[in-house]
Structure 1
Amino acid sequence: MKVLVTNWVNIVGIFLALLAYTFLNSWINYPATFVQALFGAFLLIILYGIMFWGGFLIAITILDLVLIVPNPKHLKLKLIIEWVVISSPFVYWALKYEDQRVMFLIAVITFLITQLIREKLINKALV
Structure 2
Amino acid sequence: MKIIKTNWINIIGVFIAVFLYAIVLNLIDTNVSRNVFQSVLPALILVCLYGLVFWVLLILLLVILDLLLIVKKTSNLRVKLLIEWLIIGSPFTYWAVRYGQGIFIAGVISLLITQFIRWKHIKAVLKAN
Residue 94 (structure 1) shift? 1.3
Instruction: Give the aligned partner of residue 37 of structure 1.
Output: 39
Residue 28 (structure 1) shift? 2.9
Residue 83 of structure 1: which of 73, 79, 85 is its match? 85
Aligned length: 125
Instruction: Give the aligned partner of residue 19 of structure 2.
Output: 19
Residue 52 of structure 1: which of 33, 38, 54 is its match? 54
- Structure-2 separation of matches of 1:5 and 1:88: 23
Instruction: Give the aligned partner of residue 94 of structure 2.
Output: 92
- Structure-2 separation of matches of 1:16 and 1:31: 23
Residue ranges of structure 2 left out of the alignment (5+ in a row): none
With structure 2 as the length reference, what TM-score do the two structures score?
Answer: 0.93
How high is the sequence identity, in percent, across the aligned residues? 43
What whole-Å deviation, never above 9, does each CA across 1:78-122 have from its counterpart, x for those lacking one? 000100001100111111012x1x211111111101001100000
RMSD: 0.9
Residue 32 (structure 1) shift? 1.9
Letter in 1 for 2:36: F
Residue 36 (structure 1) shift? 2.0
Instruction: Give the aligned partner of residue 103 of structure 1.
Output: 103
- Structure-1 separation of matches of 2:41 and 2:97: 28
- Structure-2 separation of matches of 1:15 and 1:48: 13
